[in-house]
Amino acid sequence: GAGVSQSPSNKVTEKGKDVELRCDPISGHTALYWYRQSLGQGLEFLIYFQGNSAPDKSGLPSDRFSAERTGGSVSTLTIQRTQQEDSAVYLCASSLARGQETQYFGPGTRLLVL
């Protein structure tokens, strides 16, 4: 079946502009996660959604970052007033439920802030 999809695959933007990154989880998965992977680094947790519960935003690095999940499916990660240090690969994952369920990752969006 279809896996996690993300768009765009690549995004180049100028410092100070806003960007929106989209994630389509696997159908039926109630949990959705965003991670960030900087060049040559491990993955850093940003935020996750579980059903209708309040999202866990504890990993968001600043108030310029926000995310929404509409209708319990598609999610959008928004970065306002982008900075060069925001350049990274943004990865989305989904799982059947929160907890010890396998997280399946999308291919990521490669963001470059000039």
Partner 1 sequence: GENVEQHPSTLSVQEGDSAVIKCTYSDSASNYFPWYKQELGKGPQLIIDIRSNVGEKKDQRIAVTLNKTAKHFSLHITETQPEDSAVYFCAASSTGKLIFGQGTTLQVKP
Q: Interface with partner 1 by CB under 8 A: which residues?
A: 4, 31, 33, 35, 41-45, 48, 50, 56, 58-59, 91, 95, 98-100, 102-108
Tracing tokens 């989305």 back to the chain, one arrives at 92
Q: What's the min distance (Å) between Cβ of 43 and partner 1?
A: 4
Q: Which is nearer to partner 1, 20 or 44 (CB)?
A: 44
Q: Which is nearer to partner 1, 70 or 102 (CB)?
A: 102
Residues linked to residue 5 through DSSP beta bridges, in sequence order: 24
Tracing tokens 């935020």 back to the chain, one arrives at 47
Distance CA 87, CA 108 (A): 13
